[in-house]
Amino acid sequence: MSQAAATEVAKNFGEWHEKAMREPVVITKHGRESAVLISADTFHKLLDGYREIVPVADLEAAVADSIINSEIPEEYRWDSTDDDVPDARRGMGLG
């Protein structure tokens, strides 16, 4: 990952823009990380993978009830005693 001072990025934005197409560029101000310049493709991948985490206590009752009463479709269920289940996953599923 490249790193540059904000003044350097401002003077030579084209160069840093090209670097950001290949890898994130950490921009520093007064010696501290202040921003990261990334490609639009990387940004969209990060955004697509973003999930908001909400404490259960903050869920509306209808949403909490939907989660509690949901069922895993049969084709996605697995038995944690199956030989093809990695040891780290044993005991995590229904079975």
For 8, the 3-state DSSP assignment is helix
Show the domains of the chain with their CATH numbers. 2-47 (3.40.1620.10)
pLDDT tens, position by position, 26-56: 999 999 999 999 999 999 999 988 888 888 8
pLDDT tens, position by position, 43-91: 999 998 888 888 888 888 888 889 889 988 888 887 666 566 666 655 5
- Looking at the chain, the number of H-run helices and the number of E-run strands are 4, 3
Q: For the whole prediction, is pTM greater than 0.85?
A: no
